[in-house]
Amino acid sequence: MSLFAFPSWPRVCPRCSQLIPHVRLDWRPSSRGRRFMHHQVDGAAIKPPELLRPKQTDGAVSGLKALRSRSSVLRQVADPGHASTRTILGQSAEVPIRARFAPSPTGYLHLGSLRTALFNNLAARASKGGAFILRIEDTDQSRLVQDAEERLLRDLRWAGLSWDEGPDRGGPYGPYRQSERTHIYAHHVRQLLDNGHAYRCFCSPEQVESQKRMLHEEGMPTAYAGTCRAIGPSESQRRAESGEPYGVRFKGDARHRISFRDAVYGLIQMKSTEEDFILVKSDGFPTYHFANVVDDHLMGITHVIRGEEWLISTPKHVALYLAFGWQPPIFAHLSLLVDANGAKLSKREDSVSLSKYQDDLVFPVALLSWLANLGSSFKPKAKTPRTVENMADALTFQFTRGGIKLNFAKLQHFQVSYRKALLSTPDSELSPAEADLIDRHLIQPLLREIDVITEGSNSNSNSNSSSSSSSNNNCSSNNKNNNNKVTAQKLPPAWQTPLDLVPALRSASSRASYVNRIFAATQDRFDCPTRLAQQHPYLFWRVPPSLYLASGATASALDRGILAQLRRAVEESWHDDEPPCLLDGVRRHFCLADSVPIHQVLRLVGAGDRHVVSHSSACMLALLGRDEWRYRFRAISDAWSTVPLRQDHHPSPELATLLPTVTSPLYHLLPPPPSLRSRKRAFTR
């Protein structure tokens, strides 16, 4: 039976009709044989959308598609905002999210912790009125690193993450260092002692360790046996007041199970607690579990977003929330980063260290975009993010489960995409921060590399050969392995000679702007700014005379004719900064079927090699400029004049009739041959 034979919607899909109880549907045939839905929402007529009859080739499939289509339309009719409503970790984006990042200053910021901070920041930014809180968890006094907190704040700022409340900014729920909140923890642990959810433990660490060893030898669980549970409140109070050292343990109940819903892993059910875990240590400082729960509640944290290694500890936290009578926040446990073998990444690995990416001149936004796509993804067709706010708008907040392997090709993709977005933006439209990034990550590293290579090329190559052979191949801003003494052996062999900088790089006033123009023209054609000089040396140094001499030995008569014609065009037609269209007249003059020979000669002049992988001819003309091209034309012409034309390179009779006209000043006025008049292809590549 056709889907349209059903007289009412509830008979077609009772479940969907329950979703929209205020919508009444009537089916009425139209004059064209189609059917329309006439809607009334709470008695008010609305304009009906037209639904076309589905194809009847496959009744079951087409009927299902039509049903889904109508269900979508009806949901939009019942709730006009349904289609545009965005959810973040199971909650509407209209509801504010208060998320936090709580690092411990026992070490430095690494890739995994930066990823956790990023997702917390993005969740808060994506919600309406959300806030991102930075809290320092420094209760483990024995493991604190002296400068760790300072570097944590500096690295977060380098990455572009900002916080609304924190130790340096303050806020309504401060202080934001746990070491300054001990009076708050003392008050709350007293509550647990009074209501019977905690007790004092007078066991020394040696006693606890001895108990664990005995239980392990007997093959039993090594959880704390609850030795001090039986001590009465009055006895416990007396021993505490007498100065006997003690800690405070949570009184768990292993008979009960705790269930909570994780935004990533769904419903989780575990035993409440397998042991009476410590809340406050004998030195008076709280443990992570206790301070974490108290602070999250008092600071109004709505979402706890962290790595999945904390999933096994969540029952302890939920038990504490229940003991206090508090509502637990929404938990979201992120998949861990793993290596190629699926093992958890070690903090000592080079790929985890944040300093590696800083030294490799990775753009902070590119690094964050990469991390955001390790376990989640951007929306389809999302533009390259340029700010953290762009990432918050583009992220789907749909997270995968299981280990996430590092995909460095994806990092390079975001690096190139972001760099291209920066370089394609006019200088007047760049923000001060973006202009500073271009200078620090592109211009200055390349200028340092150029100076190092130039200095090395002009020094004694024998004394520097050892240092050059071990030069750093990584894209690094500090050139750790260069020692300011690197020769031109970084360049192609033909360029390993004393080098002469182009005039634009000799002046301090024009160096940065010249390099910036090269970056704007190159954009995504290089993987690292410091290697751009090695890949395109002709843009930074003048072509060595030896290259011009070598090319003259293989130059044909046509090459020499094209060279003379191009040189004349440059000398007579190029009057302003912008290069004119020099190639059209040269090609018409020689009646060439294509412009390949002309481009090859241009590469010989500009780069010293006709087959070099280089920029387009038009781009090379514009970058090097008129004066530099005139110099190179004179240099190659002088070099070729000393090299006689080989006998097998003498022109053919047909070409010989054309070569005398090379010096004609009216070459650009000649009409093209009839065979070329209809061609509309560009002669500059």
Residue positions annotated with a catalytic role:
347
Contacts of 147 (CB under 8 A, 6+ apart): none
Contacts of 578 (CB under 8 A, 6+ apart): 622
Which tokens is 644 given?
A: 């006689």
Residues 388 and 126 sit within 8 Å (Cβ to Cβ): no
Secondary structure E strands in 192-298:
198-201, 247-250, 257-262, 266-271, 278-280
State the Cα–Cα distance between residues 615 and 27, nearest whole angstrom.
65
State the Cα–Cα distance between residues 625 and 548, nearest whole angstrom.
20
Q: What are phi and psi of 512, to 5 degrees?
A: -65, -45
Residues 102 and 136 sit within 8 Å (Cβ to Cβ): yes
State the Cα–Cα distance between residues 604 and 599, nearest whole angstrom.
9
* Cα dihedral sign, 349-351-357-363: negative
Residue with tokens 């200028």: 447
Rg of the chain in Å (alpha carbons): 37
Which tokens is 8 given?
A: 């009412």
Amino acid making up residue 318: V
Q: Where are the alpha helices (DSSP H) in 93-204?
A: 111-126, 148-159, 182-194
State the Cα–Cα distance between residues 373 and 394, nearest whole angstrom.
11
State the Cα–Cα distance between residues 191 and 199, nearest whole angstrom.
11
3-state secondary structure string, 451-505? Answer: HHHHHHHCCCHHHHHHHHHCCCCCCCCCCCCCCCCCCHHHCCHHHCCCCCECHHH
State the Cα–Cα distance between residues 153 and 168, nearest whole angstrom.
9
Q: How many CB atoms lie within 10 A of CB 531?
A: 16
State the Cα–Cα distance between residues 112 and 344, nearest whole angstrom.
10
At 506 the three-state DSSP class reads coil
* Residue 342 DSSP symbol: S
Distance set, CA 552 to CA 545, 605, 641, 656, 659 (Å): 11, 11, 8, 19, 18
State the Cα–Cα distance between residues 640 and 550, nearest whole angstrom.
9
